[in-house]
Structure formats: C-alpha cells, structure tokens
Structure 1
Amino acid sequence: MEELTNAELVVRARLHDQDAWREIVRRHLPLLWSAARTAGLREADAADVCQYTWLTLSESLHRIREPAKLSGWLITTARNEALRVRKVRGRELPVDLWGPPEADYPGPEELVLDSERAVRLWRAFGTLTDQCREILRLVAYAPGLSYQDVAGAVGVPVGNLGSTRSRCLAVLRRRVEAEVSV
C-alpha cells in the first residue's frame, strides 16, 4: 500500500478497502497531529481534532474533487477545526495539582536560557514567509511524510521542495543569528 498515491488510496477507500484506509491514516496522522498541536491545543483537544478530521473525511470521501490533494484537504480540515477549538477553549492550560512533581525539573538559569532561545527562534520563525513556515512545520512535526505529500500539502512542485526547504532553513538560521547579535 505504501507505493500507492493518495489518489489511488482514495479510490480504494471509496470502495471500502480497509487496507487503503489504514494506509491513509498511517500516512497522514502525523500531519493532522501537527496541525492541531501547532494551533496550540492540548493533547486531548489535538486528539479530538484528529478524530473530527477522520470522521469528516469518512463522511466527505465521495465528494473530494481532487483525490491527489488529499494531504492538503486533511491539513486544511484539521487546521480549521483546531482554530475553532482553540477559539472555544481559549488558552486554558490545566495544571494537575494532585499529580507528582516533575522529576529533574530544570533550574531557573536553564529555564531563562531556554526561554530566551525559544523566543529568538519563534520570533525569527514568525518573520518567514507563510510557505516557509508551513514547510518547516510539516518537516519538523511529520518527518515520516514523503516529499510528494509535503509538496502537495504546501503547493510546491516536488522537484523544488528540497531547495525551497534549504533556503527556508538558511533564512531562519540567519535571522536567529541576527537576533543573537542584537
């Protein structure tokens, strides 16, 4: 099943081929998880978004006009649902007051340094183009995706994806370094 394209998998899934469904899920679950977690959702809410997306796919499978663009359809559906959930839930972060304390909790110095690095990285990341941010998110959060899946999800020709990703990383690296020198 791994050698089949998304379009072929959709055709088979429409015919109730369970192996095709399993391959669609295997291939795209990291993408959905990435879209949900990138929206800032907690683990349980991200799982709900994934479940919602799979349910929507099962209900809409026969209406998908371009089966080859399944990855993009799934990402868009998951992203939209994640944004809806985030809006409803707000940015609440529950804390387990009754659970055991974190083991090996970093000291204040480590927390400050990590926080500063993260701020620099995300500030630089925010200055990238939408296309670069999307490519780097997919590569980071869904490393098992093929170049074809990532290219289809972001609308870049497969042959250009590697060089585009390299340019995006180089720009990010330069911008982070510029942050350090300021």
Structure 2
Amino acid sequence: MQTTSLTLLRRLCQPHEPDAWSRFVRLYSTGIYSWVRGLGLRHDDAADIVQDVFVTLVQKLPEFRHQGGRSFRGWLWAITRNKCREWARRRELVLVPAAALAEVAGKDDEPFWEDEFRRHLIGQIASVIEADYPPEVWRAFWEHVVEGKPAPRVAAELGINLWAVYTAKARIVTRLHEEFPDLVAD
C-alpha cells in the first residue's frame, strides 16, 4: 500500500495551501523526528533538523517526481539523512558508528525504521478523522478493518447489529478515500 497521498503532495506545491501544509507537518514531523533520533541526535538537535527538512521541502517539493520506483518517503529520507550529515559535518561529529553508517547509506528508499514510520503515519491519519465519529462507530471500524476481526465477532463483542459494523466500515473508508484519495488501498 502506498502511504503517501499524491493529492496532498500536489496541494503542497500550490500557493496558499496552509491547510495542506498543516496536515503534512502533523502527519510527518514525528516520523522525521524519529528518523533523526535514530541516528543518535539529541532532542534539541533533532528538532532543529526537522525544521531544516521542512524548509528544504518547501523549496524542493515542486521538483519531486516519482521516477524509477523512487518513493516520496525514500526521497524524504534522503533529504533527512543529508540534513543530518550537514549538521554532523558542521560539528565534526559522527552520528553513529561507521559500520552502521555504511549499512544505512545503502538504504536510500527504505530506512531501517520504515515500518515504524508507516505505523506512525497511519496512526496520524486515523487521529485526523477519529474525532468525527462516535466512539462505538470508530471502535467497530477499527476492530473490523484494522485489527481484522470478523464483522459478526465485532458485532457480538460490542453488542451492536452486524449491519452497524458494515456501515461503520463503509462510512469511514469512504471518508478516508475523500481525505486521502491516493493513500487508501481499496
């Protein structure tokens, strides 16, 4: 499943799209921060680098193209890694042991904490829309779709009608398609 919304990326390239940037920062800042901390930087330095990454994105995002299978997250990872290297060069520091750096250097498109970042991104997306639904509707959706429980079991556990589970799924999946059209797999 693709986990970067191409629609959101296109909106970021348009002038006067503060809502798109707010959503993007909300979705990606913690993941970028985790990447930077994973390279051994302290909190304050990591926060500064996250800001540097976003400044670079504002400048370079219109140039980004999906080419040769290169993902947006791979491109974002390369920018983040380069900002960390610049930071380390200015301070004449080594971020992690040389052997680990050599291993990481070969993983341009899939950093070793990619799964963690993907889970974070999906969690952030869920938090954007969860508040718009009653708790029992959200729970029915989450348990059936995300946790993969059979709908009859979810209905029995929650004490609701089977069709309420299917309705919750349909409503929230439709909303996800509306909010993140390029992100949600059918």
Structure with bigger helix share is 1
Instruction: Tell which has more relative contact order, 1 or 2 (C-alpha 8 A, sep 6+).
Output: 2
